[in-house]
Amino acid sequence: MGDMFRLDGKKAVVIGGAGSIGGAVALGLAQQGAAVAIASRDLQKLQDKARAMEEETGSEIAAFSVDVNDEKNVIELAEQVISRFGTVDILVNAHGANTKRPAVEFEADAWDALFDLNVRGTMFSCREFGKIMVKNKSGKIINLSSVRGSRATLWGGNLGYCATKSAVDMLTRALASEWAQYNINVNAVAPSLVAKPETWATRTPEQIEKYLANIPLKRVAEPRETAGIFVFLSSPASDFITGQVIYLDGGLTAVA
């Protein structure tokens, strides 16, 4: 039981690894002994985070720049990670965003950009790192979904986001099925609201109250509370779990 959650010797990639959830996940994986590559567009931010995480954990943290909207960029990232680490055992797709619009105002460009980042970017990354895992006949992939992949809101604006996260859920299930023969586990984690500095600044007290009314635990998550499930899904403790969307939601989907 003791070593079931350890990741010593494992090589992980966290896309969006300097972000709110991705940063907590990268730190959690490194604390369990994995070497971690964090990647996104802002290289300076990644390098600062990497240095701090390396100091805190003693694990190797590498920073790479990637724009997942650019297919060639994602291919190059996989090459760079391989030349640095030799292989990849764990992939976390923790990039993503929400563009809120009333449905009747959703322009094609905003719609396409959201699908490019949340869905196409996730697929490219699964495909490129999946190639390595298929060769290895081993791997763990965890995608970031959201409660909005299966639950709409009573208030509007989330149409595009809901549709992209629903696509991430099915991408996860379909890949889990296709790659089961290669011993690759593919799962998704679907949070409700995870606090970031702008979480409170961009919502009125009334909106927050309305939001918490649907959460049995009556609070939002702290970023550090997200790491545990990703460690579990990256570790041997979850070897028989694949194709699942795991809700990290304070109970929201139990009641809504």
Ligand X SMILES: NC(=O)c1ccc[n+]([C@@H]2O[C@H](COP(=O)([O-])OP(=O)(O)OC[C@H]3O[C@@H](n4cnc5c(N)ncnc54)[C@H](OP(=O)(O)O)[C@@H]3O)[C@@H](O)[C@H]2O)c1
Supply the angle between the helices 159-179 and 108-115 in degrees, to the nearest 10. 30
The question of whether 211 is a catalytic residue gets the answer no
Query: Is residue 18 a contact partner of residue 45, using CB atoms and an 8 Å limit?
Result: yes
Query: Of 4 and 217, which has the nearer Cβ to ligand X?
Result: 217
Q: Which residues bind ligand X (CB under 6 A)?
A: 15-16, 18-22, 40-42, 45, 66-69, 94-97, 117, 144, 146, 191, 193-194, 196
Query: Of 42 and 48, which has the nearer Cβ to ligand X?
Result: 42
Query: Of 47 and 183, which has the nearer Cβ to ligand X?
Result: 47
**Closest CB 168 distance from ligand X, rounded Å:** 8
**Closest CB 11 distance from ligand X, rounded Å:** 19
- Show the beta-strand stretches assigned E in the chain: 11-15, 35-40, 61-65, 90-93, 139-144, 184-191, 245-248
Residue nearest to ligand X as judged by C-beta position: 96
Query: Of 185 and 226, which has the nearer Cβ to ligand X?
Result: 226
Those residues with Cβ within 8 angstroms of residue 207's Cβ, 6 or more apart along the chain or in another chain: 155
**Closest CB 144 distance from ligand X, rounded Å:** 4
**Closest CB 240 distance from ligand X, rounded Å:** 25
CA–CA separation, 85 and 197 (whole Å): 33
Q: How far is CA 125 from CA 61, 75, 77, 167, 184, in A?
A: 19, 8, 9, 15, 15
Q: Which residues are designated catalytic?
A: 161
